[in-house]
A and B are shown apart, each in its own frame.
Chain A
Amino acid sequence: MRWGRRVAWLGGLTGALVAAPSALSAQSSDSLFAAGVRAYKTLEFDLAAWTLRRDLAKASAAGAPLAARAEGLVYLGAADLFRGRRDSATAVFRRLVLLDPRYRPSRLVFPPEVTSLFDGVRQQTKAVAIALPGDTTIVPGPGAFGMWIIASSFQLVDVTLRYEDGAPFRPLYSGPIGDSLNVQWDGLDAAGALPAINRVLLRVASRAPTGELAGIVQIPLDLRLARPDTLPLPPPPAAAQFLPERARSGVATRAVMGGALLSGVVALLPAVVGGTDTQSGPRMAVAGTIGVAGLVGFVLHRPGRPLPANVRANKALRDAWQQRVAGTTAENVRRRRDVRVVVRANEPTAIQPRGP
């Protein structure tokens, strides 16, 4: 009996241990954040700071969303502030500003001590975020590709496109920025030509008003030129479509042979029907006239005679084809000029200068 209870207890323990890690891993991050916030709200700031630091370490390692990490950081900064660790709070808020220059703590949740410290840190910290379409196709020209630069506070920025090795490709903007700035690229290089490379780096360098480099954010942009297909030239008219431009021998032969045959029929008609005792004069006159008509037809349709109607028809056919060729050529020229640039943005990277 005792053995049975021990086996049952061990089985239950094993089951709990097997099931626990997955559930814990799924909930631990949320639980740590919730526990940290709960501790903050119950004024247990040491516990809150300890819990939130653990939560942030896990969230950073797991690549948690920006908003989740920002929420953790603001609670951590506030907890450090109320623990009397102002420097630590300042460092946390600075990290938060660098992470998301647009972030503002809620003034309904956090007291003025926290928000004023955060605002002070934000004013001191020069950071930018870049908002741009992830994948787009542009027609090169003024205002073709726009991007928003969002600044944490007033600063100077240099916005440039660079080759992958860092050499300048195209300067876009250099000057002050307050809250945000719309910077545009026309899709061309510094010489005004289409980019001949497949990748550029969009680099935004932040500087303090004193000119000191405060940070760099850069985004690799993949470029691809897209040209519409050109149309095939219309084929020339088939030989069978052209009419003969000179009379062939068939018509002339038919005229003379037909005339001769019909003359013969007229001449022999009495013999065919049996009335042989007829005057041959009128009959032969008719037969002769028909024969002459055949000869005239032969002369009129003699082989090699130019056929102006057919010449005109063939010219119209050739002209129509050449017109189609010209139209297609013009369309192809237009299509060759109609080059588009496909721009695909990659993940941004931030570079911070080393402190003194």
Chain B
Amino acid sequence: MRVRLVRLALLAAPLVAGELRAQTLRPTMSVSLVRARLRSEAPAADQFAGSAFLGEGTLALRRLQLSVSYLQGTLDPDGAIGAPRDLVEGTVLLGVRPLDWLTLETGPHARAYTLTGGTQRWLFWELRARAATAFVGSAVRGYAELWRVVAADVNVPESFDHAQGGEAGMMLRLSRAPLEGRLGYRIDHAVLGGGTRKETVDGVVIGVGFSWR
């Protein structure tokens, strides 16, 4: 699967090179607070919740974009039993915007839980589709994003089955300032071992971002 993705990237390279000529780079960056919740069924259900810091950045060149994100936080168990988990996530996604409101992205999504017994590492190769458009004048934009994991590498005993996720929310931009606020809800759900293990991470995202257009 990885080889296929590398081939896809090589095929897209000439298109990227054509787009790079005489264009203006448009960077965006945002910082958010994520109130995250993890539910792990393996098969006994464990639930953790906590706050995490999320930083995101995007560099767009006409219809191409490269986006990176980093999330870090500590999730505490819902019950009195259990130890807290450190959660670290990161993505590097290369995207193309075929329509003004639609962006398609692909790239790796890594996640790690730091447990007392070791670190659980997840590596997903994802395909993402994101739609965004203004719905209250030009001040408020709504977005909805869905992603599907096409390949994964997880260091748990169960074999990876499938995973997908999504996020939806709105961004408020006042006047012509580059500052914008963000409120969203995100969730991803992974199934391993034919359903014997399920991992669901969801959360509310509240953040501010800077966008230079």
Contact = CB atoms under 8 A, between A and B. Distances in A.
Nearest to A254: B135
Contacts of B167: 269
A282 B170 CA distance: 15
A293 B171 CA distance: 11
Contact of A273 (B45, B172, B189, B204): B189
B207 interface: no
A259 B168 contact: no
A294 interface: yes
A23 to B, nearest CB: 86
A296 B136 contact: yes
A25 interface: no
Nearest to B162: A274
B110 interface: no
A262 B187 contact: no
Given A255-B135, A262-B135, A286-B169, A274 B191 contact: yes
A310 to B, nearest CB: 13
A297 B200 contact: no
Interface in A268-314: 269-270, 272-275, 277-279, 282-283, 285-287, 289-290, 293-294, 296-297, 300-301
A290 B200 contact: no
B151 interface: no
B122 to A, nearest CB: 15
Nearest to B164: A273
A278 B169 contact: no
A273 to B, nearest CB: 5
A250 B188 CA distance: 35
Contact of A283 (B133, B135, B202): B202
A270 B187 contact: yes
Given A265-B168, A285-B204, A278 B188 contact: no
A266 interface: yes
Interface in A236-268: 251, 254-255, 257-259, 261-262, 265-266
Contacts of A251: 137
B181 to A, nearest CB: 11
B169 A274 contact: no
Given A273-B187, A286-B183, A259 B204 contact: no
Interface residues on A, range: 20 to 34
Contact-residue size bin, chain B (C-beta under 8 Å from the other chain) = 20 to 34
B37 A262 contact: no
Q: Per DSSP, are chain A's interface residues mostly helix, strand or loop, or mixed? A: helix
B84 interface: no
A293 B141 CA distance: 10
Contacts, number: 102
B92 interface: no
Contact of A272 (B45, B146, B170): B146
Contacts of B164: 273-274
B202 A275 contact: yes
A294 B202 contact: no
A286 B189 CA distance: 19
Interface string B161-197: 0001111111010000000000111011101000000
Nearest to A281: B204
A102 to B, nearest CB: 80
B188 to A, nearest CB: 7
Interface of A: 251, 254-255, 257-259, 261-262, 265-266, 269-270, 272-275, 277-279, 282-283, 285-287, 289-290, 293-294, 296-297, 300-301
Top 9 nearest A-B pairs by Cβ distance?
A: A258-B135, A297-B136, A275-B189, A275-B200, A262-B142, A286-B185, A255-B136, A282-B204, A265-B168
Interface of B: 35, 37, 39, 41, 45, 133, 135-137, 140, 142, 144, 146, 164-170, 172, 183-185, 187-189, 191, 198, 200, 202-204
Given A275-B189, A278-B187, A301-B137, 20 more contacts: A258-B136, A262-B142, A265-B168, A266-B168, A266-B169, A266-B185, A269-B166, A269-B168, A270-B187, A274-B164, A275-B187, A275-B198, A277-B45, A285-B204, A286-B183, A286-B204, A290-B183, A294-B135, A296-B136, A300-B137
